[in-house]
Structure 1
Amino acid sequence: MKNLITTLLVCVSFSINAQVADSPQNISPLLIGEKIPNTTLVDLEGKALETDKLFSKKSIIVVYRGGWCPYCNAQLADMQGIEKEIIDLGYQIIAVSPDAPEFLKETEEKGKLSYKLVSDSEGKFSQAVGIAFSAPEKYGKMLGKFSDGKNTNWLPVPTVYVINDKNEIEFLYINPDYSKRLKGELLLSVLKSL
């Protein structure tokens, strides 16, 4: 009976997070101490990746809106600038966006990024971690184009998760104002203190 109740609580908890909020202010993100659930993302070659395997070591997960977003591109460049220090501290960087693989390749080339970019065009990951929200209607066509038609109505709130090798969240930065991003210097200070 106890196992059944635990299973029901886990299912209810997951279903609460697995949704698209009506605004960035009303999201329900996973928090410090919670685990990143296993979902599927897609790499630059279109291969499906299970997040349990992808995040099997300490990771910095940067969730961004897309390669079309100047704030996102500035953040990705900032992460590239500190990548060596992040690796030296034992972490990998993985950037996740709704962009389809072909557009991830463009972002990677344009930004000269050497860390891993993965696609969440269907929103499985963003919904599972509770950071997806309904995008303003004006974004519909653009989102459809960049997601290869898989997404026309949602965006993730830009988020940085620091997770350990058990997929547990040790730190997160999230702000409903997409122009406010975690600076690389501050992230390095956090990593050194963990």
Structure 2
Amino acid sequence: MATLAAQLSTLAEGVKQNAPASIANTITESIANLKKTFDKSAVIKPGTPLPSFKLPNALGKDVTSEDLLAKGGPILITFYRGDWCPFCNLALRSLQQHLDQFHAKNVTVVAISPELPNTSLTTTEKNELKFEVLSDVGNKFARQLGICWEQPESVKPVFDAFSIDLKARNGDESYALPVPTTLLVDSKGIVRNVHTDPDYMQRLEPSTALEWVDAL
């Protein structure tokens, strides 16, 4: 099985080669700008209690942080941009491929995006995910964690070019997205590890997350 990094690299090269030059350049510039401006110091730190949350799952049923902690094991939370993002879909599928290993360590895996529950169901079905996919509408929880990105106007032509209606998918007027982030929360609700990267073409390897769990 190819590493997630290798799959992401192949996908990124494909975007670079196949997308119209204006679109590819806009994507490159937006990532470069985010890397310059993203305030990593505002991101939730290891050793911090995870703020409590209540978010709907793909079927519209509310799931709380207390529900997840009641399972008695660690929680691995990954924030992704949306069903429309091919890099996110690769990352989610990679987590699914390692899910048995996480379950063997009593880890509950959860994915969160700003998309409405009905769109999250599409994500779950497309990737055949066997873990909860939750909707953080308006990026309220992401903002609490310091990982929300207010996208510039310059990226809107990219969404138009790919016929992505972000407002319809997310149910709000903003173009805000979470910076892809993965958190490991221990059984007491304390954040133990954080990985966030403003280059959304880069993601945490599931094998690294498993190493985090082993180190608890």
TM class, shorter-length: 0.7 to 0.9
**Quick one: which of 157, 168, 182 aligns to 1:145?**
168
- What letter is aligned with 2:202? K
Please give the alpha-carbon distance, in whole angstroms, between the structure 1 residues aligned to 2:90 and 2:177: 18
Q: Which residue of 1 aligns with 2:195?
A: 173
Select 2:38's aligned residue among 9, 25, 28. Answer: 25
SS at match of 2:38: helix
**Which residues in structure 2 correspond to 1:1-194 (within 5 Å)?**
23=34, 25-26=38-39, 28-56=42-70, 57=72, 58-137=74-153, 138=156, 142-147=165-170, 149-194=171-216
Q: Deviations over 1:115-147 (max 9, x none)?
A: 110000121210111111202331597321211
Deviation at 1:165, TM superposition (A): 1.8
Paired positions, count: 172
Question: Which residue identity does 2:209 align to in structure 1?
Answer: L
Note closer, same or farther for the CA distance 1:153–1:55 as it changes in structure 2 (3 Å cut).
farther
Q: Which has the higher helix share?
A: 2
Say which SS state the counterpart of residue 172 (structure 1) adopts: strand
Unaligned residue ranges in structure 1 (runs of 5+) = 1-21
CA contact (8 A) 1:40 1:125 kept: no
Distance in 1 of aligned mates of 2:69 and 2:92? 19
Equivalence for 1:19: none
Alpha-carbon RMSD across the aligned residues, in angstroms, is: 2.0
Match of 2:19 in 1: none
TM-score by length of 2: 0.73
Which ranges of 4 or more aligned residues in structure 1 deviate by more than 4 Å? Answer: none
Question: CA–CA distance in 1 between the matches of 2:68 and 2:102?
Answer: 17
Over the matched positions of the two proteins, sequence identity in percent amounts to: 28
TM-superposed CA distance for 1:166, in Å, is 2.0
Q: Structure 2 CA distance, aligned partners of 1:129 and 1:55? A: 18
Aligned partner of residue 30 in structure 1, secondary structure: coil
Structure 1 SS opposite 2:211: helix
**For the Cα contact (< 8 Å) 1:63–1:158, is it kept in 2?**
yes
Structure 2: 5+ residue stretches without partners? 1-32
Q: Distance in 2 between matches of 1:123 and 1:106?
A: 19
